[in-house]
Amino acid sequence: MLGTEFAFKVFTITSQHQVTLIARNLQFSEKLGGRGLVRNVPELNLPAGARLEPSPELLDVGKFEDLAIPTRVIFWKDSRRILHVSPLVRVPGVSHDSWRIDLLHAWQLGPVEKYVGLSFHVFLSSELFHPNTPHLDKDEKQKLALLHLKSLLLAYYAKRRQEDPHWTKKGSEVP
């Protein structure tokens, strides 16, 4: 494993000699984003650049030398600029290779949210949904256009509920 990139490695320390080998190569580094190995530790198969991560056994990486032996520590190194271990990668079958961005963050909270919002803004400013009444001012027409769009959305929700009885379990409705 020495010289190869890995996401995280759980390493079991079984002797004071291993603590000494690791400690003499550990250094706080802004480049590593914390306390990491500045040189390879070939005896333990740990590469330079691997950062010591907090864990249940080692809450403060600055207290590495005071560990009770035997114990487990986590080293983190990833060439894809992933900064820290997520608790999700500890779930069996989940790794940083299989973990992908989810629909919520990619669509609903991402660029699609902005696109849909901008589309509604364009619809409202285009006067497509404005009432054809000459005596109303621009703000009143804008409010009525918004109410028109909202009524169309609520009608769509009502239609979906009739067609699919499980619709309300699939997502949320914004009244």
Domain total for the chain?
A: 2
Q: In sequence order, what are the residues at sequence separation of 6 or more whose Cβ sits closer than 8 angstroms to the Cβ of residue 15? A: 69
Question: Which comes out higher in pLDDT, residue 22 or 98?
Answer: 22
pLDDT in tens, 94-123: 765 666 666 666 666 777 778 888 888 888
pLDDT in tens, 135-168: 888 889 889 988 988 899 889 888 888 888 777 6
- For residue 12, what is the enclosing H or E element? strand 8-13
Q: Do residues 112 and 158 both lie within one domain?
A: yes
The predicted pLDDT at position 54 comes to 85
Q: Do residues 77 and 14 both lie within one domain?
A: yes
Range of the domain at 111: 103-165
Taking the C-alpha atoms of residue 18 and residue 69, their distance in angstroms, rounded to an integer, is 10
Q: Do residues 70 and 108 both lie within one domain?
A: no
Q: Do residues 62 and 13 both lie within one domain?
A: yes
In a domain, 172, yes or no: no
User: In degrees rounded to 5, what are phi and psi of residue 172?
Assistant: -105, 155
In a domain, 20, yes or no: yes
In a domain, 15, yes or no: yes
> 28, 61, 90 — which closes off a domain?
90
Is it the case that residue 3 has pLDDT exceeding 60? Answer: no
In a domain, 98, yes or no: no
Taking the C-alpha atoms of residue 41 and residue 148, their distance in angstroms, rounded to an integer, is 68
Its pTM stands at 0.45
